[in-house]
Amino acid sequence: MKISIGSDHRGVELKSKIISNFKDIEWLDVGAYDLTKSDYPIYAKKVVQNIIDNNSELGILICGSGVGMSIAANRFKHIYAALCWNPQVASAARCDDMANILVLPADYISLEYAFEVVNAWLKAEFKGGRYQTRLDLTNL
């Protein structure tokens, strides 16, 4: 599986640890690459564009609260970015809402818990059916 991943400066450390921990994933790291202050919308757009262009199947975005990345990514049609803070929400986001981008709040989640959230999101599968009908209503 190929996943595009991006963060602003506040998510750089968590991003690198996720990449290191999930070795069976082919990662497309779009930055940021250091702690120099950076603007989250730049990285959100890069991850989204990789999904739209079919360069990756899914995406992960990380910023301090996760809210900015969620707002920036969800501006694009057929992008469903879900800010998740626990494994149950991550699983539901993928199963019920077809979240194709997981957003993590670097300032509010421990490393170990972030790994659990990523793992739950990766293992979950979209249910389709009535959930697809609901998603179709969001694309009017």
Which of 5, 63, 82, 99 is catalytic? The answer is 63
Tell me whether residue 63 is one of the annotated catalytic residues: yes
| 14-23 CB contacts, 8 Å cutoff, 24+ apart | 14/62, 14/104, 14/106, 14/109, 14/111, 14/114, 15/60, 15/62, 17/111, 17/114, 18/60, 18/62, 18/114, 18/115, 18/118, 21/115, 22/118, 22/122
Active site residues: 63
